[in-house]
Amino acid sequence: MAETCVKRAFKYRFYPTDAQAADLSRTFGCVRKVYNLALAARTQAWARQERVNYNATSAMLTAWKKTDELAFLNEVSSVPLQQCLRHLQTAFTNFFGKRAKYPRFKSRKSAEYTTSGFRFRDGKLLLAKMTGPLDIVWSRPLPEGAKPSTVTVSQDPAGRWFVSILCDDPGIGPLVLTDAAVGIDVGLDHLLTLSTGEKIANPRHERRDRSRLAWAQRRLAKKAKGDGANRRKARRKVARIHTRIADRRRDHLHKLTTRLVRENQTLVIEDLTVRNMVKNRSLARAISDAAWSDFRNMLEYKARWYGRDVVAVDRFFPSSRLCSACGTLREKMPLHVRTWTCDCGTTHDRDVNAACNLLAAGLAVTVCGAGVRPQRSTPGGQSATKQKTSQREP
């Protein structure tokens, strides 16, 4: 049986003409309007204990186009309008399946086109009801012979335009098997500490631009409320600083996760609840800047791509308080204690010791199971839940 190619999105920046920017802005507005109208209709039907599916909202869209109030919906391509209704149906499916919260009203500037809504030929992309091809900066090549299945156009808060092209990437597949395994302990002083003893510094991207961001936010706060030109310019400056921080952070995490996945067959991490941890007012900004959740997401999907294993050990496993040499468990380990000496005479670096313990627990689960309740992510996307440890770390 032939292996299926991995679908991968390639994102590029492009520079639209004034006419194209106007057409895209109009399309974004129509997509947002249709999505919100359909969501409101389904919410009202839900209150009446009625079920409305995609076919019903599609019929509503046809009726809306015939009214004088919403006749402007005919000016844009119907493809992204239908796609937003499909996305709404997926959102409700996830909600009923208890995989997501109730859908919210749309505010993002984006539109998705399927194959009937665009033409891609000789490196040129032409969207339906659009004047001329998009001026795309091809920062990296698409896979040879790529046939895009969907194209998503978006604009970020900083005013930059992007196009995301989804296609099969035959270059992604399982890497050569290796016996290498690594335990990974995340932190703030050091972003990552590996069981090999290597420590990866925390770049602290937000801290580097904090003074510039504060200055821009003060300028924005002084502008008159409303939709004036000066306030728009000030808001755009704040957004540009935020996007600069986010871009640097994302680039750094991509490089780290790609390196770790390529070098190791098994990667063991801790199953942290970052959502609860950021409630700590003293550490919320530093934790958000470290982006532990983004790191884990990147690690897991790249592991699925390349046939690697990611094992997430339960957050209550006492990795910091457990001696990796003799197995002695200390009762307490305050955060300010960075090195400690066990009764067996071994002196530990707190983070390296935690990474070693995570690795040992993850390998134990991989081989024969253990009492650390891991959540194992495999290339097939399956997970296994084990028994919770009896020892919990405060």
**Token output for 86:** 């499909």
Phi and psi angles of residue 268, each rounded to the nearest 5 degrees, phi first = -110, 125
Instruction: Give how far Cα 139 sits from Cα of 132, 175, 240, 247, Å.
Output: 21, 25, 20, 15
Told to judge if 393 belongs to the known catalytic residues of this protein, a careful annotator would answer: no
| Residue 364: burial class (beta carbons within 10 Å; 0-12, 13-18, 19+) | middle
Told to judge if 351 belongs to the known catalytic residues of this protein, a careful annotator would answer: yes
Helices assigned H by DSSP within 222-308: 229-263, 274-277, 284-290, 292-306
Candidates 270, 289, 300, 309; catalytic one: 270
> b/e map of 171-193 (b: 16 or more CB within 10 Å)?
ebeeeeeeeebbbbbbbeebbbb
Phi and psi angles of residue 34, each rounded to the nearest 5 degrees, phi first = -65, -45
Distance CA 60, CA 52 (A): 11
Candidates 23, 112, 185, 314; catalytic one: 185
Residues 118 and 151 sit within 8 Å (Cβ to Cβ): yes
Told to judge if 112 belongs to the known catalytic residues of this protein, a careful annotator would answer: no
- Sheet harboring 266-270: ordered strands across? 199-201, 190-194, 181-186, 266-270, 309-313, 375-377
Candidates 112, 206, 289, 351; catalytic one: 351
Distance CA 62, CA 82 (A): 10
Q: How many CB atoms lie within 10 A of CB 72?
A: 13
> b/e map of 133-165 (b: 16 or more CB within 10 Å)?
bbebeeeeebeeebebebbbbbbbebeebebbb
Annotated catalytic residues are: 185, 270, 351
